Amino acid sequence: MSVPTSDPLRPVTADEVDAFARDGVVHLPAILPTDWLDLLVDPVEATIADPAVTTDMTALRTAVAGVSPDSAGTGRFLSGVDHWLHDPVFAAFATASPLPAIAAALMDADRIHLYEDSVLVKEPGTAEVTALHQDLGYFHLDGDRICTTWVPLDPVTVETGAVAYLRGSHRSGLVHRPNWFVSDEPLPGTAGTPVPAIADDDPRLVRFAVQPGDVVVHHAATLHGAGPNRSDTARRRAVSVRYCGDGVRYELRPGAPTKAHHHEVRSGDPVVDHPGCPLVWSRTLGSAR
């Protein structure tokens, strides 16, 4: 398989680094070569068509929140995780695209490890709201250099389900209890501070209108959620890739979903190169894959 360049179309600017540190989120316009997005289209379609690797979040909301299917929209919210472990295109995107270098620039990291990837699709007419949540509560990690890169395959607006980020929430020092994404109901057996109630018009919330080739990066401790896709025709397809860097250690959190290699580590262990959490970039070598 021939893969596109691992170089971003432009450098991350000093202002963007400052915005990420200050707000816990930054929008990076026109930074990712769209050849990567072209490569992802077929694997994304295959993934969301396969119930063995993708969860129907619309059906989950019915099960968790007791919402009648009759009150749902005409579309579905579909989500999956860790596709890089099984699909060479997702693996190349997570390990050999410009994303690791972008994460390193924003987090001032000497090395970057891949934690996971995720596919997030809201079809036209999807009624589900992505509940306000914090990624860190789901991750078995502790440290400051942990981030999520959010890559749209379609133009995204508030109408089609743009993500809303609570600026500055990454500086709270809190680990919030994880929920079901489509419900405020927390995952059973989990611990942490309850997610606060935030009004939709809270001035701290920021939403970005994004285009293919843009990347939005948020700190793992930043609170965020997303609206429904109210469009009758426009899809909202995105791929997220989550990375961690220097100084990050494992923190095994009760009740949070685990990965296969987590049985090999203990809380407090440093994150090192491992097939389940590989080193994908270093300052001395650049791309490690």
pLDDT at 269: 98
Residue 16 in domain: no
C-alpha to C-alpha distance for 146 and 112, rounded to whole angstroms: 9
Provide the pLDDT for residue 29.
98
Residue 85 tokens, joined? 């472990």
In a domain, residue 74? The reply is: yes
What's the CATH number where 270 sits?
A: 2.60.120.620
Residue among 209, 22, 226, 265 at smallest CA distance from 122: 226
- pLDDT for the residue numbered 79: 97
Q: How many CB atoms lie within 10 A of CB 90?
A: 24
- The answer to whether residue 5 is domain-embedded is no
Is 133 a member of any domain? yes
Q: How far apart are CA 250 and CA 74, in angstroms?
A: 41
Q: What angle do CA 204, 205, 207 make, to 5 degrees?
A: 140
Range of the domain at 80: 22-287
Q: Is residue 198 part of a domain?
A: yes
pLDDT at 249: 98
Tokens 């920021």 found at = 206
- pLDDT tens track of the chain, all 289 residues? 788 999 999 999 999 999 999 999 999 999 999 999 999 999 999 999 999 999 999 999 888 877 665 556 789 999 999 999 999 999 999 999 999 999 999 999 999 999 999 999 999 999 999 999 999 999 999 999 999 999 999 999 999 999 999 999 999 999 999 999 999 999 999 999 999 999 999 999 999 999 999 999 999 999 999 999 999 999 999 999 999 999 999 999 999 999 999 999 999 999 999 999 999 999 987 775 5
2 within a domain of the structure (yes/no): no
Q: Residue 68 corresponds to which tokens in the numbers above? A: 């009648």
Number of domains in the chain: 1
What Å distances lie between residue 229 and 73, 115, 242, 263, CA to CA?
A: 9, 28, 24, 38
Identify whether 106 is part of a domain: yes
Q: Is residue 14 part of a domain?
A: no
- Residue 228 has a pLDDT of 97
